Amino acid sequence: MPYIVALSGGIASGKSTVANLFSQLGVPIVDADIIARQVVKKETFALSQITEHFGRQILLADGELNRAKLRDIIFHSEQQRQWINQLLHPIIQQETQQQIAQINYPYVIWAVPLLIENNLQQYANRVLIIDTPPDLQLARLLKRDNISENLAKSMLSSQISNAQRVSFADDVIVNDGHTSALTSQVEHLHTKYLKLSQNCN
């Protein structure tokens, strides 16, 4: 098993950007968001359970999951959000472990949006948190998802605060919008993780 670095941060904090910078250095990435999309594709067990729970209104015309509709439901209902998490979390975790086990590299970046909220940090050797100013997160989220400010604020408030997240971190990347600073932080951590993985094995 490679040395596992869990990468997390709030919505629109720049997780994908940071993961891409590690990837450019040759580091394998296991992305929980991508796995989460794969496990709810048409004709999967998870999608059949979701359809049974919410009805066929949760599907698009082609039978795929209507992700926008589901997102709207779970960000307005704590109960429904918990139901979805309880269904998908074990399925996603199983697929994650399978992907990590196949990696032949000293370490892996495991990108997990809800790492702390779902108490997943225990599965990693090290936790890397992206710390982004909340006003910048909000601006990015509005631009990225083209949603109302109310929904964006609801999405941000559904997660723990940046300060709470950082309290679990072994390492912190500050992402305040300056790409060059981001690149140098990633390069520094890459060297550090290669050394840590050698010491671990």
- Was 17 annotated as part of a binding site? yes
The helix (run of H) or strand (run of E) holding residue 171 is strand 171-174
- Was 23 annotated as part of a binding site? no
Residues, the chain: 201
- Was 197 annotated as part of a binding site? no
Helices of type H across 55-178: 67-74, 78-101, 134-145, 149-157, 162-166
- Was 51 annotated as part of a binding site? no
- Was 36 annotated as part of a binding site? no
- Was 161 annotated as part of a binding site? no
Whether the Cβ atoms of residue 94 and residue 87 lie closer than 8 Å to each other: no
Cα dihedral: 22, 25, 30, 33 (round 10):
40
Tokens linked to 37 = 């999309």
Residues making up the annotated binding site for ATP are 12-17
Residues making up the annotated binding site are 12-17
